[in-house]
A and B are shown apart, each in its own frame.
Chain A
């Protein structure tokens, strides 16, 4: 029970740090390039087509940073909770019971989305650098990244949520 509370405290801290980092990225974006307009302006910017979809590359840059940091922060926590096995297998089992709860499974779906986007967008950046695809090509590759991320996340979500949904 105590081990679970410690884990949840650590998890809360990690979540807070991820949210704080996202805020830092948003503030920096607003200062550096006037990005992260919200509401109607955001929708109008994201709705731009063809050549103006360079705007999508900008949002991909911010999403890449946030998803990378989120995956790293959770990985750091995960290393700690897995290392609980070194102290006590019972403690390890206690902590990892939490992973089978519905809220944690939902979080894992989000983590999968962040991981998939970060990995695929990283490959996109390599492709841009190697083949000089230009802004329009980069935007098309981003469409592919978004599509693949959605497919991977939905597929993974079914597998992750299946036991909790009585499957």
Chain B
């Protein structure tokens, strides 16, 4: 079967429509590689791991943010539209500058800040069946692909909303008993760029390639962060 693919190009004069022979299962990344190999070697897009681990290949597939390597074409697909991830400046074709995402990510101090006396001591033990671990688990596993950020109607330049990924990470760290930066994070998520900017569009939850629910994390943060909300 032949697939008609329309790709957003930076150069208005560059070819943007391609016909690709499909096979199954075929991912969107396979489609992009076929276009690059058979039609347009200069087509710009990013990818790395090919197995939905690195979060590099985020683009919009038929208007929806997704990982190109993880998105499998429906068997009856005849048309496909590919755009760069929204909310980011476009570098070229499907390549975006994800700086706005990382700026917000960095603001929440996205790592555990241990107590001074914990350094050099015994590793903390958090049993898998503990309440703390069970509260953290549903929000873990973010690969920082930016799909949620791109799919959010609020996050992205020129706005300064922290965004779903950063808030989801903040929830994880606020739950973590080893962390000592909880107060600073609570102030940030309760501030002008925090949880109250969310309008429950659910673009983040709908687009997360790891199946996380950042909208629920935001709601839990609104309720204080420690309980299960």
Q: Which residues of A come within 8 Å of B, CB atoms?
A: 29, 31-35, 37, 41, 44-45, 51-52, 54-55, 57-58, 61-62, 64, 125, 128-129, 132, 134-135, 138
Is B205 on the interface with A (CB-CB < 8 A)?
yes
A167–chain B nearest beta-carbon distance, Å: 41
Are B153 and A33 touching (Cβ within 8 A)? yes
A-B interface pairs (CB < 8 A), number: 78
Are A135 and B205 touching (Cβ within 8 A)? yes
Contacts of B63 in A (CB 8 A): 34, 37, 41, 45
Chief secondary structure at chain A's binding surface: helix
Is B47 on the interface with A (CB-CB < 8 A)?
no
B145-177 interface (Cβ within 8 A of A): 150-157, 159
B107–chain A nearest beta-carbon distance, Å: 19
Please name the residue on chain B nearest to A41 by beta carbon.
Answer: B63
Can you list 8 A-B contacts (CB < 8 A)? A29-B153, A32-B159, A54-B205, A57-B202, A57-B203, A125-B200, A129-B200, A135-B215
Q: How far is the CA of A145 from the CA of B199 in the complex (A)?
A: 16
Please name the residue on chain A nearest to B222 by beta carbon.
Answer: A129
User: Which of B83, B155, B202 is in CB contact (< 8 Å) with A135?
Assistant: B202
Q: How far is the CA of A102 from the CA of B215 in the complex (A)?
A: 45
Are A54 and B203 touching (Cβ within 8 A)? yes
Contacts of A41 in B (CB 8 A): 62-63, 81
Contacts of B205 in A (CB 8 A): 54, 134-135
Please name the residue on chain A nearest to B198 by beta carbon.
Answer: A129
B216–chain A nearest beta-carbon distance, Å: 6
User: Which of A29, A34, A45, A128 is in CB contact (< 8 Å) with B200?
Assistant: A128
Are A52 and B206 touching (Cβ within 8 A)? yes
Are B201 and A58 touching (Cβ within 8 A)? yes
Contacts of B206 in A (CB 8 A): 51-52, 54-55, 135
Contacts of B202 in A (CB 8 A): 54, 57, 134-135, 138
User: Which of A33, A62, A125 is in CB contact (< 8 Å) with B152?
Assistant: A33
B74-101 interface (Cβ within 8 A of A): 81, 83, 86-87
B66–chain A nearest beta-carbon distance, Å: 11
| In the complex with contacts A33-B86, A51-B206, A132-B219, A44-B62 CB distance below 8 A | yes
Q: Which 9 A-B pairs have the closest CB atoms?
A: A34-B86, A54-B206, A135-B202, A54-B202, A32-B156, A33-B86, A33-B153, A58-B201, A57-B201
Are A132 and B216 touching (Cβ within 8 A)? yes
Please name the residue on chain A nearest to B219 by beta carbon.
Answer: A132
User: Which of B86, B200, B216 is in CB contact (< 8 Å) with A32?
Assistant: B86
Contacts of A51 in B (CB 8 A): 206
A45–chain B nearest beta-carbon distance, Å: 6
Per-position binary interface string of chain B over residues 55-80, scored 1 when its CB falls under 8 Å from any chain A CB and 0 otherwise: 00000101110000000000000000
Among A35, A62, A135, residue most surrounded by chain B Cβ atoms (within 10 Å): A135
Contacts of A54 in B (CB 8 A): 201-203, 205-206
User: Which of A33, A55, A138 is in CB contact (< 8 Å) with B156?
Assistant: A33
Q: How far is the CA of A129 from the CA of B81 in the complex (A)?
A: 34
Contacts of B201 in A (CB 8 A): 54, 57-58, 61
Are B62 and A35 touching (Cβ within 8 A)? no
Per-position binary interface string of chain B over residues 181-202, scored 1 when its CB falls under 8 Å from any chain A CB and 0 otherwise: 0000000000000000001111
B148–chain A nearest beta-carbon distance, Å: 11
Among A31, A125, A128, A132, residue most surrounded by chain B Cβ atoms (within 10 Å): A132
Is B224 on the interface with A (CB-CB < 8 A)?
no
